[in-house]
Each structure stands twice: as structure tokens, then as C-alpha cells.
Amino acid sequence: MVNGQILHFVRAGEGPPMLLLHGWPATWYHWRKVIPLLAPHYTVIAPDLRGFGDSSKPASGYDTRSITSDVRALVKQMGFEKTFVVGHDMGAVHAYTYAADHPDEVPAFAYLDEPLPGLGYETFAALKPEPFWQGGFWFAHFHLVPQLPEALTAGREGLYLRHIITRMAYDPTAFTEADFAEYTRSFAGGGLAPSIGVYRDIAITISQVKEAMARGKLRQPVLALGGAFGMGEAPGHEMRQVADKVEAGVLPECGHFLAEEQPVVLAERLLRFFSTVST
């Protein structure tokens, strides 16, 4: 229980803490392939963020600072004062916010395949539907419509998630039927509505990120990665505008879901990067 919310998480390994933050549409399960590769070196903590999976689903509080407050409290509750952070999709935004608001607590972080609200998100979200990867970013706008997305997808969550995931992945075969079943379980039965709160609170998140950017560039090392068929070089370009020490790269033959499409390559990049930073 953190901040009055049940926060489900998976923990594995021993060593310095490494917090893994998923995006949408995902849960802790997004990291299932990389956790075994990171756990020999780190205490890996992968929560279901508020509104997702088996965590509490409050009616409000889906801006980046509210979510960051949850995971920061979790880290402290587990006895850690500092942690490395790896964030994907909107989880990457939370990683940035955590590092910007509490620089002494985040020695370094990884920012994976996401435009930063307040910098590149608005422009990206306004682009024509193709080719991200083949399905565009239309759902970001769809999710802003009050009540309609959850009404139209009720009982069809699996169909909706499969449509989005398979079009944002370069190789949809990276996802098995068991994977789709787990994601469907997590979002079915009313689970979709709270999760899209991260989109409905995006205006608040944008203002919070802009406030953080106004304080100046981050001094912590940042690893910014995109999928070759996802955001590509954009994460690196954006992080260089908000941080002084940025290592950037692009994962080949990969769409949006780096940890699920190229887990070995991603884990190697993470291990190499964080091994150069002391906690």
C-alpha cells in the first residue's frame, strides 16, 4: 500500500535497485523477458502503475507527478533511497519526471521510445495516422473523448489491444496468444477506463514536464533508445534538449515495444549503460 493505493509489483534479483516503468497498453508484464536478464545484477522492481493490471484504479491522479509519487514511495518502502529507472512509453515520461524532481535519488535513467510531453509529444500526436508503426497514434486522441472509448470497447478489450499492439510492433509474432490473454485479463472488466487516464490527464502532465524543463538540463546520465520502426532517433534528439549527458541509440528490427520485441539487445544496452554509473 502506497499513497493509499494498492500497488502490485514484481521483484527479482539482488543488487542496486532498478525500477521498470511500463506504458500503455501494458503492465509489469511488459518487462517479463528482460527481468531474468537484469536480475543477476540488480534488484529489479516492476510495478503495475496506478490504474493498470492488479494495482488500484482510482478515478483520478494519472498525471506524471501523481504516478511518480506512487513509485517513489514504493522504492522508499522497500528500503532504497536511490534507484536507477527504466521507462517505456508513458513510463519513460515518469522516469524523466522522477529524475528531474528528485535528481539526488535517480543516478541515471533510460528513456525508451516515447515523445516527451511539452517538447515532442504534441507535434507527434498531431501527425497523420501512418506509420507508427502501421497504426499511427490515433488512439491518443480517441482516449480523450469522455466515456466513449470504454463504452465501445467493453467486452472487446482483447480485440482492441491486439489491434493496437500488432500495429505498433515491427514483428507481431513477438507476442504469443498467452501474452494477449494476459493483457486482455488486465484490461477487461472495467480495466481500460482507468488506464487511459494517462491520456486524459496529459494536459496536466505537459505543464508538469514544462515546469521541470524550465529548471534547466538534467545532469544525470540518460540512455535514450528508440525502435528502428518506432520512434527511431527521436528519443535521443529530445533527451539531448533536456539533459547534458545522453547516450542514444536505435534498436534494429524493432517497433515500439523494445522489451518485448528485442529483449536481449535491450538488456545488453541497459547493463552496459548502468554499469558505468555508481549509485
Q: Is the pLDDT of residue 145 over 50?
A: yes
> Coil, strand, or helix at residue 28?
helix
* pLDDT > 70 fraction of the chain, expressed in percent and rounded: 94
Domain residue extents for the chain: 9-119+202-274
Q: Is the pLDDT of residue 163 over 70?
A: yes
Cell numbers found for residue 61: 491522479
> Out of 34-48, 112-126, 255-269, which region has the weakest mean confidence (pLDDT)?
112-126
Average pLDDT over residues 251-258: 97
The model's pTM: 0.95
Contact between 111 and 158 under an 8 Å Cβ cutoff? The reply is: no
Place of cell 532498478: 18
- Its CATH architecture, for the domain 9-119+202-274, is 3-Layer(aba) Sandwich (3.40)
Q: Is the pLDDT of residue 209 over 90?
A: yes
Confidence of residue 279 (pLDDT cuts 50, 70, 90): confident
- Rounded to whole angstroms, the Cα distance separating 215 from 217 reads 7
- Rounded to whole angstroms, the Cα distance separating 276 from 221 reads 10
269 Rama sector, left if φ>0, alpha if ψ -120 to 50, beta otherwise = alpha
Average pLDDT over residues 58-79: 98
Sign of the CA dihedral running 1, 53, 168, 176? positive
Confidence of residue 129 (pLDDT cuts 50, 70, 90): very low
Q: Is the pLDDT of residue 128 over 50?
A: no
Residue 247 pairs in a beta bridge with: 223
Q: Is the pLDDT of residue 126 over 90?
A: no
Residue 207: per-residue pLDDT: 96
Contact between 230 and 139 under an 8 Å Cβ cutoff? The reply is: no
- Rounded to whole angstroms, the Cα distance separating 131 from 254 reads 14
